Structure 1
Amino acid sequence: MTGGAPPAGDRPRTLDIAPGTRRMRADVGPLIRTLRPGLTADAFDRFAAEAHAQGLVFTAAYAADGGCVAVATHRTLATSRGRILLVEDLVTDTARRSTGIGAHLYDVLVERARAAGCAAVELDSGVTNHAAHRFYHARRMRVAAFHFRLDDLR
């Protein structure tokens, strides 16, 4: 199956995962680290604890077989553009891509944004991640800004 959400009986169960738990280390960490290969397991644990304290939510999608198949990290922010749900990471297990799981998790995030009174869902995507760009464009997201970064802070 491609596109859309999985059939109702196949929809993954979503759970918010707290830092320091077995699921954070065994399920969430490995998927996030596919996006951030330089992040060690220990560095991920430190990041998760600090970011969670700053309001980052880790939402994992679990298939019927109990396997973690997708993860999103997100937070709600008050901005001069209105309240937004900022998605920092959205990743699906490579073996499960194009099955509707990512779309289902995206829909969960949009519903959370609505429930939180957000005006928009925003996210950044690496400029070379064309598959992700197609995914977001297919969900009516538009390129609204350039994200600039200064790495050399010496």
Structure 2
Amino acid sequence: MSAVSLTLTDVVPDDWRMSAHIRPLMRTLRPALTEADFDRFASEAHAQGLVFTAAHDSHGHCLAVATHRALATSRGRILFVDDLVTDPDRRSAGIATALLTHLTERARAAGCHRVELDSGTANLAAHRFYHARRMNISALHFTRDITGT
């Protein structure tokens, strides 16, 4: 698959492609997210500025999705990638690279100084992918679950 044949499209929550394409692919990354939870998340996060960018092939199949937003931070303006997922059957075909390149171009156009994302500590395949695209580990992301306390 040549990344050149991809069509990159922003999809909004009320677009039929959100439930038909984006939701199933996002659930491969976040399997605990029910369909109803995803729909609530998509609506609320979109209202907060989250953009859903889908990569479709020439047949209209959704091969990858990135969720992202431009943020003003004390470290400067950044494009933060919340999620980047490729169809598991289509990985290593240049699709995620094309999507990340597109996001980098969008970041520059939006006046951002960096593209940032978090990756789970156990996701070594993703870490190799990001390192190969000249991304550095620049911080640790700490969390505390407060639902049970």
Shorter-chain TM-score range: over 0.9
TM-score relative to the length of structure 2: 0.96
Q: What is the match of residue 136 of structure 1?
A: 130
Q: What is the match of residue 119 of structure 1?
A: 113
Residue of 24, 32, 41 corresponding to 2:18: 24
Kindly state the Cα deviation for residue 57 of structure 1 after the two structures are TM-superposed.
0.2
Kindly state the Cα deviation for residue 28 of structure 1 after the two structures are TM-superposed.
0.5
Which stretches in structure 2 are left out of the alignment for 5+ residues?
A: none
TM-score relative to the length of structure 1: 0.93
Runs (4+) off by over 4 Å: none
Deviations 1:103-135 (A, max 9, x none): 000100000001001000000000011110001
| Aligned residue identity for 2:96 | G
Structural RMSD (CA): 1.1
User: Given that residues 60 and 71 in structure 1 are in contact (C-alpha distance below 8 angstroms), is that contact kept between their aligned partners in structure 2?
Assistant: yes
| Aligned residue identity for 1:32 | M
| Aligned residue identity for 2:7 | R
Which stretches in structure 1 are left out of the alignment for 5+ residues?
A: none
Kindly state the Cα deviation for residue 20 of structure 1 after the two structures are TM-superposed.
2.2
1:64 pairs with 2:49: no
Q: 1:70 to 1:148 in 2, by over 3 A?
A: same
Kindly state the Cα deviation for residue 7 of structure 1 after the two structures are TM-superposed.
5.5
Deviations 1:42-83 (A, max 9, x none): 110000000000000000000011100000000000001100
What is the distance in 1 between the residues matched to 2:11 and 2:36? Answer: 17
Alignment of 1:92-111 (within 5 A): 92-111=86-105
Q: Which has the higher contact order (CA 8 A, sep 6+)?
A: 1
| Aligned residue identity for 1:33 | R
Q: What is the match of residue 85 of structure 2?
A: 91
Identity across aligned pairs (percent)?
62
| Aligned residue identity for 2:124 | H
User: Given that residues 12 and 63 in structure 1 are in contact (C-alpha distance below 8 angstroms), is that contact kept between their aligned partners in structure 2?
Assistant: yes
User: Given that residues 70 and 77 in structure 2 are in contact (C-alpha distance below 8 angstroms), is that contact kept between their aligned partners in structure 1?
Assistant: yes
What is the distance in 2 between the residues matched to 1:66 and 1:57? Answer: 20
